[in-house]
Amino acid sequence: MSTIPSSGPTAAPAPLSVGEPDAATLARTAEQSAVTALTTATPHRLADVVPAPQQVQPDPTADWVLPADAAIVAGADPAALAVAEQLAELLRPATGYPLPVTEAAAPAHGIALVLDRTAADLGPEGYRLDVTTTGVRLTAGTATGLFHGVQTLRQLLPAAIESPTPVAAHWALPGGTITDAPRFPYRGAMLDVARHFFAVDDVLRVIDHLARYKLNHLHLHLTDDQGWRIAVDSWPKLTTVGGTTEVGGGPGGHYTTADYARIVSYAATRHITVVPEIDLPGHTNAALVAYPELAPDKLAPPPYTGTEVGFSYVDPADERTYDFVADVLGEVAALTPGPWLHIGGDEAFKVTGEVYTGFVERVQRIVADLGKTVVGWHQLAPAAHLDGRVLQWWGTNGEDPTTAEAVHRGARLIVSPGNHAYLDMKYAPDTPIGHDWAGLIDVRKAYDWDPGMHVTGVPSTAVIGVEAPLWTESVTSLADIEFLLLPRLPAIAELGWSPRATHDWNGFRDRLAGHGPRWDAAGITFHRAPEIPWPSTPAIPGQRRTIPAGVNPT
C-alpha cells in the first residue's frame, strides 16, 4: 500500500491506494448498512400492540411498506380529516414524507381513514384496521375510534417512527386485520398539580402519553393543602394567595381560565375528557389561608408546604361554606365540557359521621344541579345515593363492605387500588422518588390484577373503569412524572382496554419491551424496569439514551 505521510493537522487527507474506499464512500456505505439493518428487519407482528387488541388476524402475505409519495385520505367529514391530519403530523417528522391529507374517495396507494357513522358494531371507541398489499384502511364509527386506530397504526411501524427528525428506514407494516374496542368506558390517569405545580406544557405532554395507550380521561387534582391551582373569578384569592405555595416551599402556580381551557381543548383533540377535582371538605388548607372565613375557627392557618394529610377542613356548619362550594363548582363546571366533577372527599379526618355525610350529600346535590355527574373518592360511600354517582376506590384490600354496599345502592366504581395502580408508589426499595405506604409496585404488580373482579361484592357491571393516580409530593419535574408513569401506565391502560382473555404477563412483558426504543427515540424518560426484556438495539442507529435530570433511571 503506497500512501503519502500526512504532515500535520492542516494537511489534506492522505490519498488512499486504489481499491480502498474514500471517506464519502465509507459514509455512504455506513448509511446504507444502517438502512439495510432497518430494511431487513421484519415488520412488527400485528399483535405487538399495547393495549392488546380485541382481535388480531395476521396475514403475512399482506405486509405493506409506506411509500414516500403516500397520501392520507379521509373523505369529506371534518372530524375524519382532523384525525387524518393528526396521523400525518405523527408520521411526517421521522419519515420526512409529505403525506398530504386529501378528501379523495379512495387512495390509489396509501392510508384511508373511513368514518362510517353506521358502523355501530365497532362501538363508540372501536375501530378496524386492515393492512393489505395496497395500503391501510382504518374504519370506525366515530372520530374517537379512528384516533385509537391511529395509535395502533403508529405502534405497528418501526420504533424509529418516534424520531423527531428524519430517519432513513423501510416503513413496513404487518399485514392483516385488527378489530378492536375497549373493555371499560372509563380509562384514566390522575395528575396531582396541587402538591407540586406543573406548567400547561407538562400537562399537555402527559395527555400525549395517555393518548398513546388509549386512555380517555385525565383527572386533575387541582386543589389541596399545599396549593389551589385553578382560577375562580368569584373567589380570586384562592389563586392569588392560595396558589403561591407548594410542597417544599417552591413558588407554586395556578392555571388561569385560559390555561385550563387550553388543557381541556388539547385533551379533547386527543379524545380525552378532563375530570377536574376540587377536594372537599378536607385537603383545603390553601383555601383557608386565602379565606379564613371558611375555617372552623375563622382564623387563617399558616400556609402548608409539608406532606401530612387530614388536618384541614372547610366549616361544614357555616352556610358561607356552601356558597363557596357552589361558586367554585359552578365556575369549574362552566369551564369543563366533560360530564364529571370530582369532589374529593378523602381523608377528612376531622369531619366525621353525620356531619361528613351531610356535607357530602349537599355537595353531591350541588353537582347534580349543575348538570354534572359527581365523582368522589370512596370515602363518599356512606353518604346517601344520588343518581349516577361514581366512587373512586383507592383501597389496598378488596374487602370493603362499605363500598360494596354503596354499589348495591346504585353507585358505580372507578378502581384505583393503591397497591396496584398508584403511580407514586416506588418500583423497588431503591427507587429515588415516590412512596411505599401502599407497597412497592413493579410492572408486574401494576399489571396482575383484574379491575372487574377486584372489590368483593362489586359486580364487574358496576365498574366503569380504571384510573392510575400520580400524587406528586415527591415529584418535581416532567422527567420525574414520566419516570413514574412509564412503563406502568401502559399496564393500567391494558387492564382498562383489553379483553380479559388477552391477559398474560409474559406476552405483555414482551410487547411492552418494544416501547423502550420508542420512548428513547421520542426523548421520553422511563424507568428501565429490570423485569422487562428491553431490546439492546436502539430504534435509531447510533442513538444514545439520554439520562434525564432529576431522576436516576436504573
Q: Which positions are catalytic? A: 347
# chain residues binding ligand TNX, by CB under 6 A:
10
462, 395, 196, 282 alpha-carbon torsion, rounded to 10°? 90
Look up residue 177 and give its DSSP letter.
E
Cβ closer to ligand TNX: 51 or 303?
A: 303
Q: Candidates 424, 442, 480, 520: give the one binding ligand TNX (CB under 6 A).
A: 424
Task: Give min distance, CB of 305 to ligand TNX, in A.
Answer: 14
Residue 309 CB, nearest approach to ligand TNX (Å): 5
Q: Minimum distance from CB of 275 to ligand TNX (Å)?
A: 14
Taking residues 251 to 290 in sequence order and writing x for each that binds ligand TNX by CB under 6 A, - otherwise, the string is ----------------------------------------
Distance in Å, CB of 382 to ligand TNX, minimum:
16
Q: How far apart are CA 279 and CA 359, in angstroms?
A: 13
Shortest distance in whole angstroms from residue 185 CB to ligand TNX? 22
CB of 412 to ligand TNX, least distance (A): 18
Least gap, CB of 287 to ligand TNX (angstroms): 15
CB of 422 or CB of 508, closer to ligand TNX: 422
Q: Name the 3-class secondary structure at 27.
A: helix
Pinpoint the alpha helices (H) of 69-213: 78-95, 143-156, 200-212
Residue (311 or 534) nearer to ligand TNX, CB: 311
Calculate the alpha carbon distances from 318 to 243, 294, 296 in Å: 24, 8, 8
Spatial neighbors of 246 by CB under 8 A, at least 6 apart, are 194, 195, 196, 197, 226, 227, 252, 253, 305
Q: How far is the CB of 35 from ligand TNX (least distance, A)?
A: 48
Q: How far is the CB of 144 from ligand TNX (least distance, A)?
A: 29
Please tell me the distance from the alpha carbon of residue 313 to that of residue 39, in angstroms, as a whole number.
62
End-to-end CA distance of the chain: 48
Choice from 34, 309, 326, 428 touching ligand TNX (CB under 6 A): 309
Burial-class residue 513 by CB neighbours within 10 Å (0-12, 13-18, 19+): middle
Residue with smaller CB distance to ligand TNX, 475 or 478: 475
CA–CA separation, 373 and 381 (whole Å): 15
In the complex, minimum distance from the CB of residue 147 to ligand TNX, in angstroms, rounded to a whole number: 30
Output phi, psi for 339, to 5 deg: -80, -10
Say whether residue 304 binds ligand TNX (CB under 6 A).
no
Q: What is the CA radius of gyration of the chain?
A: 26
Kindly tell me which of 147 and 422 has the beta carbon lying closer to ligand TNX: 422
Cβ-based nearer residue to ligand TNX, 331 or 347 = 347
Give whichever of 315 and 473 is closer to ligand TNX, judged by the CB atom. 473
DSSP string for residues in 43-83? PPPTT--SSPPSEEEE-GGG-EE--TT-EEE--S-HHHHHH
Q: Which of residues 433-472 bind ligand TNX (CB under 6 A)?
A: 435, 471
Biggest CA-to-CA distance, the chain: 97
d(CA 552, CA 479): 10
The distance of Cα 522 from the centroid of its chain, to the nearest Å, equals: 15
SS3 147: helix
Measured from the CB atom, the residue of 473 and 480 that comes closer to ligand TNX is: 473
Nearer to ligand TNX, 125 or 346 (CB): 346
For the segment 392-421, give every residue that binds ligand TNX (CB under 6 A): 394
**Cβ–Cβ < 8 Å for 135, 148:** no
Which of 331, 347, 361, 405 is in the footprint of ligand TNX by CB under 6 A? 347
Q: How far is CA 288 from CA 196, 280, 293, 300, 329, in A?
A: 18, 12, 8, 6, 17
Instruction: List the one residue from 162, 346, 400, 467 that touches ligand TNX (CB under 6 A).
Output: 346
Identify the CA nearest to 253 among candidates 235, 230, 237, 275. Answer: 230
Distances (CA, A) of 14 to 1, 17, 181: 12, 9, 63
Q: How near is the Cβ of 225 to ligand TNX at its closest, in Å?
A: 9
DSSP string, 311-346: --B--TT-HHHHHHHHHHHHHHHHH--SSEEEEE-T
Q: What phi and psi values does residue 338 have, to the nearest 5 degrees? A: -70, 165
Residue 225 or 520 having the CB closest to ligand TNX:
225
Distance, CA of 30 to CA of 24 (rounded, Å):
10
Question: Which of residues 377, 447, 519, 526 is near ligand TNX by CB under 6 A?
Answer: 377
Between 103 and 436, CB nearer to ligand TNX: 436
Q: Which residues bind ligand TNX (CB under 6 A)?
A: 309, 346-347, 377, 394, 422, 424, 435, 471, 473
